[in-house]
Structure 1
Amino acid sequence: MEENQVQTSRIIEESFNHYIEVFGELTKKAPGFFRNRDWAGMQQNHVKRLRLYKDHIFDTKNRLKDLLGATIEDFSYWKKIKTQYQTQIKDRLDKELAETFFNSIIRKVYPGLAIHEELMFVYEGYNSCPIYSNESLYHSYPSSWGLQKIIRSIMEDFDFGANYLNKEEDIQFLVHSVREVILSRYKPSEDTITQVLKSVFYRNKAAYLVGRTKVGGKWMPFIIPFLNGPRGIYVDTMIFAPKVMAHLFSFTRSYFMVEVEIPSQLVAFLNSVITHKQIHELYNAIGFNKHGKTEFYRDFINHLAQSTDQFEVAEGIKGMVMTVFTLPSYNIVFKMIKDYFDPPKTMTRQEVRDKYKMVGLHDRVGRMADTHEFEEFHIPLDRVHPSLMEELKNSVNSLLEFNANELIIKHVYTERKMVPLNIYLEKCNFEEAKQVVEEYGYAILQLAKANIFPGDMLTKNFGVTRQKRVVFYDYDEIEFLTDMNFRWKPKAETYEQIYASEPWYDIKENDVFPEDFKKWMIGREDVKAYFLDYHKDLFNPDYWQSLQNQIKKGELLHAFPYPTEIRFRPEEEA
């Protein structure tokens, strides 16, 4: 039996090693895609890496089932496996990821297992690895070099292996930015130092440097985006604003391709730069979203222990497909697929799950919320408000189980809490309404450029973030834009056609008539005309068809994750 335990533990660690190895190999391809402007290759490689974790879990599960037989349900056996595995990984520099991998394996292999402290790594994690300053993590530039030399050294240290549009102009742009933002407020001293992570953050058409300067007794973070246009590589801007940095690492964006030797150390550096991002969000951002899920759960159970409020139905119009609830003191909503869908919805529960998987594998361009999917999710019964319990029993009863003290949810998604756009529009003033309806239109158009058609575009399906950014979060009707048929409405010519009670022309399943959007997109009268004028393209089938044609030609339409007005060369295309 002991030999069998060692073999089981080694199989799990070997699978984890292979996952990390392949993860690293795929990540290392990003600089080549950027250098060669191979945007399709970049996207395909990103999807491969997203699928990697589940593929390894599936393969390992099958190996263990064949090996263990009936032992697979032996509680005491798995306690010993955990102890053995813990010994094997104790000196790893990525042991927090190894712990999460073990958790994923046992959840798939052990029948009906909920989160269990004796069999899983529930409270270990991120800060179980030593966090310390590490010169292998970043380049250092002392203030004694002077600003010009520091900027030139940064540019030399990050050679992307391709021609630059105008490197000298880039250097002067950066020098001017530092003088304007930092040196206008702080005077460098002997201990002033600039550090830039050696790892470059790649996503879509951009490469980002992340750094910080210690000046005035505190760290001043910055991010430098590089783009590779038809005429060469260039620095697009220099970002100092914390809100813009936070948006770069947002839950609405795809994960970065970034080489990582010690994940916890990279996260620690990022946490010092983007201070109000939580640990789980940073792990998500660098591609370890399964460990991000683990860290989120740890944060959640810690919050439960420190709070007393009750879970309740989330604000907003009740969905026809999802039941949504929240804990008022926690910035998350919980979404469950209903047992039965209200008309006219005709899809199945599995089809809805497939839509969520589609979003997980797609570029979210800052306009779709990331989700974590949980099974066997436990909530204390005394924390569930009676009105929520009634709603859950009425709408998702098949997903509920109970024990003496807990509600057990068989399947649930978690997502960042936002104010539903329709509710925000009811309460905000006119200027705020103008801002969010502009954002609403941009959200739809930027999703379209990423080959996503939202389907149900009512304002209740969009949320407003703390930064007043509008994000889409209802995925049950999304489709690829290229699968839709955008049409002008035929003009009625006869008396019968003009007064027909129903459309007199044929309408196929994927036909879309953008002219009709005007009727229902914005209900608030004082801002409706402004919206219709500001986003004219939304109502023009020819515009939608032009986007389809660009996508079908293989063009990647870049969505800038920062304000375009801060770009050094606004005329340059991404």
Structure 2
Amino acid sequence: MEKDLIHLTVEQVLTGYDNYIKSFQELTRKAPGFFRKRDWSGMQNNHRLRLRLYKDEVNATKLRLEQIINEYLGDSVFWMEVKKNYSNAISGRKDIELVETFFNSVIRKLYPGLAINESLMYVHEGFNSCEVRSYEPLYHTYPYEWGLQKIIRSIIADFDFEAPYLNKEADIQFLVKAIREVILKRYRADESTITQVLRSVFYRNKAAYLIGRTFIGGKWMPFIIPFLHSPKGVYVDTLIFDPKIMAHMFSFTRSYFMVETEIPSQMVAFLNSVISHKQIHELYNAIGFNKHGKTEFYRDFLSHLENSQDQFEIAEGIKGMVMTVFTLPSYNIVFKMIKDYFDPPKTMTRQEVRDKYKIVGLHDRVGRMADTHEFEEFHLPLNRIHPQLLTELRNTVNSLLEFNNNELIIRHVYTERKMIPLNIYLETCNLEDAKQTVEEYGNAILQLAKANIFPGDMMTKNFGVTRQKRVVFYDYDEIEFLTDMNFRWKPKPQSYEEIYASSPWYEIASNDVFPEDFKKFMIGRKDVKEYFFDYHKDLFNPDYWMSIQNKLKKGELLHALPYPNNIRFRPEEEV
């Protein structure tokens, strides 16, 4: 009977995974149709549906198995046999690393109090254990002998968006000119020069991206070609060679791409050769396999723990009223835990905070909100916890802590990319960097607004500065949808009593916002304060906020491009 249960358990887990990946691929294949029809709300809704798939299918698998193997849920011998049989069943699969992660997710849901256990789970296998297959079916190849004009024309011809072009010939010449100015002025093409472009198109929001590389000058030169689709037709918007811009397009602050891939590890390996300083887990995230990205991140974290000796400590910056944040100085991640009790004036519950993080997880982050991974039963070696941090944890998140021998077990934690808090950055940077950063700060707020996110608490301590000096919002406990807010001008006092009233003499609803008041808290640094107020004067104008709100309510998708406007081929009015 037990042998039959083992086989049945393997079948149920595989059925759950196959259901998930089939639906994932079906939703991904819809992206070209949304781009062709310019159905941007459909594109976003489709993205949200795909994000929910994994958790839904893991839960469905858990419910099925609970009825079948109830008496064996905490039986380690039983699960060791299940893993052994499962490994045999998935041997040779092209997506083996994802199938292993799905098994880990299911067993963590079923096995009571399960810690990371190599005999029961796939702890170290992952990307590095995948068979390296030929890239050949992955891309189109364009040889040097064709010449630049023919290569560009062939690339455009190979990617038919089944929609009218704005001006295809102009696009071709824009691309030819850009290549001559950026690449051929520095490198000479010869018989070894070859160009490869991934067959799969990367879709996100209003854009479609071609990703490729050219071997020239003895090295691979990566590039990205963005296409947009306006009411006038499809057009090439620019050609990107800058590795910093390319890295930002795959950033932890960006939503995941819709891109078809038969062999995920093959796609990730190619992307890693193109955007080489992105980590493997970031690339899995970028192509939509964020649950496996979480697994790869955890494997990287375990490896780092084994090869480092520093202690976890309280993160720099002003302590939050809702979250306790700590970090490992040698690792580029912060760990965020929801406090047991919130400091006034915060009044929300722990579940409400978790719900805010879920909103961010399902929303377009427009390059301005940090992606997070959520963990339960997260184990840390107790001897790596600084005494000061341990005291802070006991004082603020004690209900989330469990001590077991030499381990600290955290019942619930978020991980997020480490950034310099904006308030600290502004205290130490020079005037030129300060001006650039406060411009970024205002841009971040306005781009979030155009994505229908109102940050709520917009103090500089709730924003971070990345290595590329980009400003990112990371405190989500007060975010709301912009369309739910009521932006108002402050009423003008009409009497002596109103002028000198100690508190507002007019009614204020919970969703009322007075942008004129933003100046009171937004920038503390005196030598850039007025510059910021002048550069971002729209921030303090309720009518401007309402104009964004009205566009959103009409169903417009206000697209924030992931690259600078000054590298676009055409001015906005021409498209």
- What's the secondary structure of 2:69's corresponding residue? helix
Counterpart residue number, 2:135: 134
Cα offsets for 1:33-55 (capped at 9, x unmatched): 00000001000000000000011
Residue equivalent to 2:186? 185
Aligned counterpart, 1:409: 410
- 2: CA distance between counterparts of 1:483 and 1:342? 25
- SS where residue 45 of structure 1 aligns? helix
Identity %: 75
- Within 5 Å, which residues of 2 pair with 1:3-152? 3-152=4-153
2:343 corresponds in structure 1 to: 342
Aligned residue in 1 for 2:325: 324
**1:309 — aligned with what?**
310
Correspondence 1:512-527 to 2 at 5 A: 512-527=513-528
- Aligned equivalent of 1:475: 476
Aligned residue for 1:492, secondary structure, equals: coil
TM normalised by structure 2 equals 0.99
Equivalent residue number for residue 160 of structure 1? 161
1:573 and 1:373, CA in 2 relative to 1: closer, same or farther beyond 3 A? farther
Whether 1:449 and 2:450 are equivalent positions in the alignment is: yes
Give the ranges of 4+ consecutive aligned residues of structure 1 lying more than 6 Å apart after TM superposition: none
1:262 maps to a residue whose letter is I
Q: Distance in 2 between matches of 1:34 and 1:59?
A: 32
Q: 1: CA distance between counterparts of 2:478 and 2:574? A: 32
The 3-state SS of whatever aligns with 2:215 is strand
Please give the residue correspondences for 1:314-463 in structure 2 after superposition, counting only pairs within 5 Å.
314-463=315-464
Equivalent positions of 1:463-542 (< 5 A) are 463-542=464-543
Contact 1:229 1:573 in 2 (8 A): no
* Partner Cα distance (1:461, 1:156) in 2: 47
For residues 345 and 268 of structure 2, the distance between their equivalents in structure 1, rounded to whole angstroms, comes to 45
Q: Which residue is 2:230 aligned to?
A: 229
Deviation at 1:572, TM superposition (A): 4.6
- Structure 1 residues 106-134: Cα deviation after superposition (integer angstroms, max 9, x where no partner): 01111111211111000001121122332
Question: C-alpha offsets along residues 47-72 of structure 1, whole Å, 9 cap, x if unaligned?
Answer: 00000001101100000001112111
Deviation at 1:570, TM superposition (A): 2.2
CA contact (8 A) 1:399 1:411 kept: yes
Check conservation: 1:375, 1:410, Cα contact below 8 A.
Answer: yes
Amino acid at match of 2:546: Q
Matched with 2:199 is 198
Q: Aligned partners of 2:135, 2:469: CA distance in 1, in Å?
A: 37
| Cα RMSD, aligned residues only | 0.8
User: One-letter code of the match for 1:388?
Assistant: L
Partner of 1:294: 295
Structure 1 Cα separation of the partners of residues 160 and 193 of structure 2: 25
For structure 2, list consecutive stretches of 5 or more residues without a partner in the other structure: none
Q: What SS class does the counterpart of residue 73 from structure 1 fall into?
A: coil
Deviation by residue 1:434-481 (Cα, 9 ceiling, x = unmatched): 000000000000000000000000000000000000000000000000
Post-superposition shift, 1:573?
Answer: 7.6
Change in CA separation of 1:561 and 1:359 when aligned onto 2, cut-off 3 Å: same
Classify the secondary structure of the residue corresponding to 1:324. strand
Aligned partners of 1:380 and 1:407 also within 8 Å: yes
- Deviation for aligned residue 1:306: 0.7
Give the structure 2 partner of residue 569 of structure 1: 570
TM-score normalised by length of structure 1: 0.99
Aligned AA (1:499): Y
Q: Which amino acid aligns with 2:515?
A: P
Deviations along 1:314-349, whole A, 9 cap, x unmatched? 000000000000000000000000000000000000
**How far did 1:502 drift?**
0.5
> For residue 358 of structure 2, what is the amino acid of its counterpart?
K
Q: What are the superposed Cα offsets for residues 258-306 of structure 1, whole Å, 9 maximum, x if unpaired?
A: 0011000000000000010000000000000000000000000000111
Does 553-562 or 563-572 show the bigger shift? 563-572
Following the alignment from structure 1 to structure 2, what is the Cα–Cα distance between the partners of residues 565 and 32? 29
Q: Which amino acid aligns with 1:336?
A: M
1:167 and 1:455 map into 2 onto residues whose CA distance is 44
